[in-house]
Structures are given as C-alpha cells and as structure tokens.
Homo-oligomer: A and B are copies of this chain.
Amino acid sequence: MSRALQTTTLESPLNDLIDAENLKRVQDQSAKENFRRDETPGLYGEIPLEVVSVQSAHDVEKLVQICMKTKVPLIARGAGSGKAGGAIIETGTKGVICDFRTMNRILRIDRENQLVFVEPGVVLKDLQDAVEAEGLFYPPDPASLSWCTLGGNVATNAGGARAVKYGVTRDYVNALEFVDGRSQKHRVGRPCAKSVVGYNIKDCLVGSEGTLGLLTQMTLRLLPKPRHVGSAVFVFKTRKDAASFISQMSSLSYVPRCAEYLDRESIDSARKLGVPYRFAEDAEAAILFEVDGFHDDALYQELELALKLAEACGSTMHEIALDERARQRIWDSRRALSEATRKRSNYKISEDIVVPRSRIIEMVQTIRERGQGAGLDAFAFGHAGDGNLHVQVCFDDDALRERVLDFHVEIFKEALRMGGSISGEHGIGLAKRESIGLEIDSVTLELHRKIKSAFDPDNILNPGKIFSECA
C-alpha cells in the first residue's frame, strides 16, 4: 500500500519534468515491463518509473538534472545484453531507464588515423561491418555481437574470443564523452594515438557499469583488417587433455587470435540445438583455435605448430577451416552455446571466472569433481586462451538454487586462490555484488566508494550496482 503511494508521489513530478524538457519517454506499460530483465538468467528487477529514449548528450544532461531534482536513480541501458543485472532496477527500489538505443549513429570513420567516432547505441555488428568495409578491424567480439551496443560494451569492458590476442574493449577506447552524476559533461582521452595528460578518467569509466557516468560519445581505435584468418577445431578424448593444450600454448611462440574451450556437455547441447558445425560424436572436449595475420604462409605454419601441440596433448581428431563459410559454421555454433546450454534444463546459472592459463587443467577438474560431488550438472566453455571460463550449472528443480549458488562461490574462491578473478568480462552488476568482497578487500572497496562519490556525489547513477553503498 505504502509502496503504491510512494510510486504515485514520485511518478507525477517525474513525467511532468520529462515532458517539460521534451524528452521522449516510453508510454506503453507493457513495453516498460521488458526492462525488468537483461540476459542474466533468473534475475528480474522492477518495472521502471520511466524509460527515456535519449537522442543527444543534451538529453542526457537534462535527464540527469531531473533525476537529481527528484532523487530518482538513473540506470543507463543499451541492448540489455548484460549478464550481471547491471542494467535492471533492483527489487524494492525505483528507477528511470536511460535508453541509449536511440543514440546509434556511426558519426565518422577516419580511415587514415584508424579511428571511429560513435554514439553509444550503435550495435557492435553494425560497427564491425562498417569498418571492415573500409579495410579496418574492430577486434572486441562478445558472443552477443549481433545485438549488443557499444555503450554497453564500454560500460562493462566487454571481451570475447579474440581477447587472447587483441585485448578487450578498453584497449580500443581512445576517448569518451560522458555526463557525470551532477550533469556535468566531460571529454576524456583524445582522438589520437597517445596522450598522458591528466588522470586516466577514460579508463576509469570503462567497466564502471553506468555508476560513474553516462557515455554519450566514444572514439574507438581500429586496426588494419587481418588479411588471412585460419581456424581449427581440435577434438580431445578427455577434458584434461584439452586443458593441457591451453596450458602449453605459451610454447607456440606466437599469440593465437582465439583459443576457445568446449566441454562435452556444451558440445552435446549445441548438437541438440542443431548448430551448423558437426562436432565429433565422441568428443569429451574441443578447442576452437584461430590464427590471423598478414601472410598466409605464416598462418599455415602457425596452424601446423598448433596441430602438433594438440596431437602431443592427445588430440584424436582435428579439422582446419580456411574459408570464410567453414569458419562461420564453427563460430555460429560456438556463439549459440549460451542459448543451447540454457535449453538443457529449466534453470541455468552461469559464471565467468578467470584463472591463470597454467591452472586451467586444475580448474576444469575442480568444476567436474565438485559438480559431481554436489550432484549438479556443471561444466564449462569459454575463452580459455586467456583463462576465462564460463562455468555453467543447469538444474530443473528451483529448490537446488541455493546449492548452485554455493557451488559458484566455491568456484570463485578456487579461482581467486589460483590467482584468477571472479569475472573476466560479464562484470559484477547485481548478480555478483555479494561476492565482490571475495576479490576486493574492504579497504579498497572503501576507495571505490570515494571514487563513486567524486563522480556522483548524490548517488544518482545506477546505485547499488557493483558494490553496496555502505561497508
């Protein structure tokens, strides 16, 4: 009763203010309900008080002012492809969604300087297509690349399969324009190759999940498009053999573009979904390996070296894919894994831990053994080349949820003990907020709160995400 009353009190000044500023808001209630979730399995938030479709940085400034005035939290959102609940409104709280999908222009591609200027709502795939048409290359490639937005990529520092060679989104952000929690607009970084002037505020924004500022424009760095790409699938009879390949990758003396790990359960799920690539029937694990470069002879030599290593690690079968169609078949199958494994059961909770590459054998075994010990359907796939595993637990009975969460916490602790991390690319958001203390101690979390307060003293921007407000 009291909650409904509060909502009414809040809503009227809010929508009046939004209308007075000529901001475009979503009127349809059922459309607003779509904002209760992102791609985090099983996580639902509140229906937003308002969803404002911003058109410009000036719209964003006005919206922040309205939220400051009414003390209503403001949550930035792109495609809602996040996997940590960073763009939903926490249950029991209120919020306005700043929907950036309407700011989706590729403003300029600067071919000579290998830069592109974009608004945050641009879909990653659209950017990749546009720059590749100019012979350029934007490496970050999260599995959601066909629909996720660049603003979300920057806000979460998205990674992807090519990170092992090319790094993550942060490595391609040269400059940002953003609006802070006091509606101040900042331009940080420079639209050139290097700058060491002042604090690195740009990189502080990257990965801050909408809690420090709202991105309104980005300058991204591009590379020449690699001339040749070659892929391989190496099939192994045990997951330990596959993991052993990854551990020994440093002996290759070059950095592959991708080295993805797939457990049998992932492969089976993909097969059931009917993905285009046909994995060998008896595969207990597989590595999807890829190299790229300027010269095709070098490529063949690199693939040959990798094949030798795979065979030395016990690989029983392989396939080399050099043409684009064959490669695409493999990658479409890899990218379908998240969806495919979701269909194994009623519920799925997935995580994205990181371990040092040399510990990947240990981690793969740990997931298997502890999963079996707890009676859980636990397995993994992911960007093993940089030690980033997406640990999956599928279950049918909701009563198992607590046990699954406990399992994940155990895996987090193991990852940290090995020198890894509790998140490699999904971020913390709401989903892992209670676990952040496992990785970051209270003294450093206190420093986080001070940094937050420097950017957003009234705690307007996505409050309660990443870490809770008080110690």
Assess whether A316 is interfacial by the CB under 8 Å rule. Answer: no
A356 in complex: contacting residue of B192, B198, B428, CB < 8 Å: B192
Assess whether A125 is interfacial by the CB under 8 Å rule. Answer: no
Q: B197 touching A208 by the CB < 8 A rule? A: no
What 0/1 readout, one digit per residue, does chain A (352-388) give for beta carbons within 8 Å of chain B? 0011111000000000000000000000000100111
How far does the alpha carbon of A223 sit from the alpha carbon of B355 in the complex, in Å?
18
Q: B443 touching A184 by the CB < 8 A rule? A: yes
Assess whether A405 is interfacial by the CB under 8 Å rule. Answer: no
- Which residues of chain B have C-beta atoms less than 8 A from A422's C-beta? 197
Assess whether A206 is interfacial by the CB under 8 Å rule. Answer: yes
- Which residues of chain B have C-beta atoms less than 8 A from A210's C-beta? none
Closest chain-B Cβ to A390's Cβ sits at a distance in Å of 12
Stretch at the interface among A39-47, A67-75, A250-258, A268-276: A250-258
Q: A198-B428, A295-B295, A302-B294 are in contact. Are A192 and B354 (CB under 8 A)?
A: yes
Assess whether A326 is interfacial by the CB under 8 Å rule. Answer: no
Assess whether A282 is interfacial by the CB under 8 Å rule. Answer: no
A466 in complex: contacting residue of B198, B252, B444, B450, CB < 8 Å: B198
- Which residues of chain B have C-beta atoms less than 8 A from A206's C-beta? 200
- Which residues of chain B have C-beta atoms less than 8 A from A428's C-beta? 196-198
Q: B195 touching A424 by the CB < 8 A rule? A: yes
Q: A199-B204, A356-B113 are in contact. Are A298 and B294 (CB under 8 A)?
A: yes
Assess whether A464 is interfacial by the CB under 8 Å rule. Answer: no
Query: Closest residue to A358 on the B side, CB-wise?
Result: B112
Assess whether A458 is interfacial by the CB under 8 Å rule. Answer: no
Closest chain-B Cβ to A173's Cβ sits at a distance in Å of 11
A451 in complex: contacting residue of B192, B201, B250, CB < 8 Å: B201
A223 in complex: contacting residue of B188, B255, B295, CB < 8 Å: B255
Of residues 217 through 231 on chain A, the ones whose CB sits less than 8 Å from some CB of chain B are 223-225, 227
Q: A170-B200, A203-B200 are in contact. Are A192 and B421 (CB under 8 A)?
A: yes
Q: A112-B358, A298-B297, A444-B188 are in contact. Are A423 and B250 (CB under 8 A)?
A: no
Stretch at the interface among A10-18, A161-169, A336-344: A161-169
Closest chain-B Cβ to A443's Cβ sits at a distance in Å of 5
Closest chain-B Cβ to A425's Cβ sits at a distance in Å of 6
A190 in complex: contacting residue of B293, B420, B425, CB < 8 Å: B420
How far does the alpha carbon of A357 sit from the alpha carbon of B188 in the complex, in Å?
20
- Which residues of chain B have C-beta atoms less than 8 A from A208's C-beta? 199-200
How far does the alpha carbon of A386 sit from the alpha carbon of B357 in the complex, in Å?
32
How far does the alpha carbon of A185 sit from the alpha carbon of B443 in the complex, in Å?
8
Assess whether A312 is interfacial by the CB under 8 Å rule. Answer: no
A293 in complex: contacting residue of B184, B298, B424, B453, CB < 8 Å: B298
How far does the alpha carbon of A443 sit from the alpha carbon of B194 in the complex, in Å?
22
Q: B193 touching A357 by the CB < 8 A rule? A: yes
Assess whether A237 is interfacial by the CB under 8 Å rule. Answer: no
Q: A171-B167, A451-B454 are in contact. Are A423 and B357 (CB under 8 A)?
A: no
Q: A297 touching B294 by the CB < 8 A rule? A: no
Q: B198 touching A436 by the CB < 8 A rule? A: yes
Assess whether A395 is interfacial by the CB under 8 Å rule. Answer: no
Assess whether A315 is interfacial by the CB under 8 Å rule. Answer: no
Assess whether A333 is interfacial by the CB under 8 Å rule. Answer: no
What 0/1 readout, one digit per residue, does chain A (321-359) give for beta carbons within 8 Å of chain B? 000000000000000000000000000000000111110
Residue ranges of A at the interface with B (Cβ–Cβ < 8 Å): 110-115, 135, 156-157, 159, 163-164, 167-168, 170-171, 180, 184-188, 190-201, 203-204, 206-208, 212, 223-225, 227, 247-248, 250, 252-255, 293-295, 297-298, 301-302, 354-358, 383, 386-388, 419-428, 432, 436, 439-441, 443-445, 447-448, 450-455, 466-467
Q: List 27 A-B contacts (CB under 8 A).
A: A112-B248, A159-B194, A186-B444, A186-B447, A187-B441, A190-B439, A192-B355, A192-B419, A193-B424, A194-B386, A194-B421, A194-B424, A195-B420, A196-B207, A196-B421, A197-B428, A198-B439, A199-B204, A200-B204, A204-B204, A204-B451, A224-B250, A224-B252, A224-B254, A293-B293, A447-B454, A453-B454
